[in-house]
Amino acid sequence: MASFTLHGIPVSRGISIGRAHLLTPAALDVKHYLVPEEQVEAEVKRLQDAIAEVHRGLQALWTELPKDAPTELGAFIDVHALILSDPMISEAPLDIIRTRHYNAEWALVTQIDELSAQFDEIEDEYLRERKHDIQQVAERVLKVLMGTALNVPPVYSGEDQVAPQMIVVAHDISPADMLAFRDRDGGPQSFIGFVTDVGGQNSHTAIVARSLDIPAVVGMSQASRLVEQDDWVIIDGDAGVVICNPSQQVLEQYRARQAALVKARKRLLKLKKTPAVTKDGTPITLLANIELPDDCPAALEAGANGVGLFRSEFLFMGRSASGLGNALRVPGEDEQFEQYRKAVVAMKGRPVTIRTLDVGADKPLDPTEHTALNPALGLRAIRYCLAEPQLFLTQLRAILRASAFGKVRILIPMLAHAFEIDQTLSMIEQAKLQLREEGIKYDPGVEVGAMIEIPAAALALPMFVKRMHFLSIGTNDLIQYTLAIDRVDYEVAHLYNPLHPAVLGLIASTIATGQKAGLDVAVCGEMAGDTKLTRLLLGMGLREFSMHPAQLLSVKQEILNSDLATITSRTRRILRSIEPNEIATAVEQLQSL
């Protein structure tokens, strides 16, 4: 069999070598036919029964979650259960059966296609990925209707396999199905990686892959059509490459790399309790980015000094009031407070930085609402919160109440104007006043910080320094806005470059200005967790890194091996350069110092 290579989006690092197991989407086999009038209600009941069975299956998965299962899996099962209960899934297809006389499978696929088209119009990467959750739920219902269960293969008995070393290749795969593969007699090694045609950095597939620490590549487009059952497959999760039917020489090369990675990871584990200090004795603060309170144990396990970014919008996701196309059922103050308090208590006295709601035109709470012409520049983040003062005030009260249980900091996204800062601070004071009048405890000394993710903010830092207690650089958006590049648009994504001299200049000046004013400055974007850029950021003067917990020990290792005096002088030369090739070469050379 001929060898070939596919390229996709790397979402979970590492190397896996195994046999391909293909999952065929049930939707591809759906039959389309019209149901006679007298059989319509029977067809309606068939779909209702299938939905009920999937509900029972999800409940069983939840109750039988293994103790070592990542907390994300339980949360995603909950999301799928909520989607399944939504009238847009549980009722709208029934109406299609009754009005158009479609068979149950056809009716469900018709409704899902319509919903998917709505989500395709959403420009925000995270929310657009939620389309796949809806499709995954529908897939489970279709499998029940068609009498096909998840095809988990028996242990491979080929002469070159002693234990099941399976790489799942699919158009898409749900977290619940991932658990079905993992929770077998073969244990966690039942599957060792997966490849999907769709998905992105923020898809649930990607999030669970990182939490399981299993190599994965998504967004490969044609993988499920080109790879055949039982093909030998290599996943290079660092490069986003999948090699099918590799030659013996390539196979041996990757096995050697894989063995080296295993040894390196074992060495990293010994660093958990080692303080993050450079060779010359400079302490560095390593913080964790989290989405939910249940992520806190992983942050502590990795040795995080605290939470540098709690993305509070995850508490608002998947909560429509009466349909996926209707307004969001916003969590109330008590519900938000309980989640924030849970995270604060879990971190055992370490600081928890909670970013206020980062939604808006690019993350519409109602997917059917009119999308702004250029949503990345529209009513989003703090602009949205100030336009919805009651929603904002409710969140601020909940965060302040949680501050009574440990150190909490409030982080405001997408600030660009002095009046936005002043209005935000005024809202915080209003929330404090209300709590005082009601006799509710909070920490009056809660610090408030600004996300620096708009070039205008980076270029006008004095007005931030004057008003805020700390700064956090959101490199993902800062790069996007500086270069006018939509990083999720495949036609221009190759132009998204964190080493562009303009980007480096903005980051370096923000760090320098903030620190000169005595403010803590952190980087909480993807650059913070990229070990190839750790020394560059250290050379710029960065002393706080916030990243996914899985990246923390690798970054710590880079810090322990870094000599600040040498790195700083080299970094100054890099910042004076304007030639991309020179910058890239110099940054690479930093790694060998």
Structure confidence at residue 323 (pLDDT)? 41
| 107 class by beta-carbon count within 10 Å (0-12 exposed, 13-18 middle, 19+ buried) | buried
Collapsing DSSP to helix, strand or coil, 440 comes out as coil
Which contiguous run of DSSP H or E holds residue 19?
Answer: strand 15-23
Distance CA 355, CA 409 (A): 9
Question: What's the burial of 522, exposed, middle or buried (CB within 10 Å: 0-12/13-18/19+)?
Answer: buried
Cα separation of 201 and 217, whole Å? 10
> What are the catalytic residues?
204, 524
DSSP string, 360-418: BTTB-SSTTSPPPSSGGGSSBTHHHHHHSHHHHHHHHHHHHHHGGGS-EEEEE-S---H
Residues 271-328 pLDDT 10s: 999 999 999 999 999 999 998 898 899 899 999 999 999 999 878 765 544 344 444 4
Contact 382, 414 (CB under 8 A): yes
pLDDT digits (tens, 9 = 90+) for 168-178: 898 888 766 66
* Alpha carbon distance 130, 373 (integer Å): 21
Write the single-letter amino acid at 462: P
Is the CB of residue 5 less than 8 Å from the CB of residue 241?
Answer: yes
Domain 277-590 has CATH 3.30.565.10: no
If 0-12 CB within 10 Å is exposed, 13-18 middle and 19+ buried, where does residue 482 land?
A: buried
Please give the pLDDT value at position 199.
Answer: 76
180, 146 Cβ separation under 8 angstroms: no
Burial status of residue 139 (CB atoms within 10 A of its CB: 0-12, 13-18, 19 or more):
buried
pLDDT at 322: 39
Q: Which secondary structure element, helix H or strand E, spans residue 534, and what is its range?
A: helix 534-540
pLDDT < 70 regions, the chain: 1, 24-29, 65-73, 121-129, 148-164, 175-190, 201-204, 207, 211, 317-329, 360-375, 487-494
E-strand spans in 184-314?
Answer: 191-196, 216-218, 232-236, 241-244, 285-290, 307-311
Instruction: Assign 420 to helix, strand or coil.
Output: helix
Q: Please report how the helices 204-212 and 71-85 are oriented relative to each other, as an axis angle in degrees rounded to 10.
A: 160
What's the confidence (pLDDT) of residue 165? 78
What pLDDT does residue 2 have? 83
pLDDT of 289: 93
CATH 3.50.30.10 is right for the domain spanning 4-22+151-266? yes
Sequence ranges of the domains in the chain: 4-22+151-266, 26-146, 277-590
Say which CATH architecture domain 26-146 belongs to. Answer: Orthogonal Bundle (1.10)
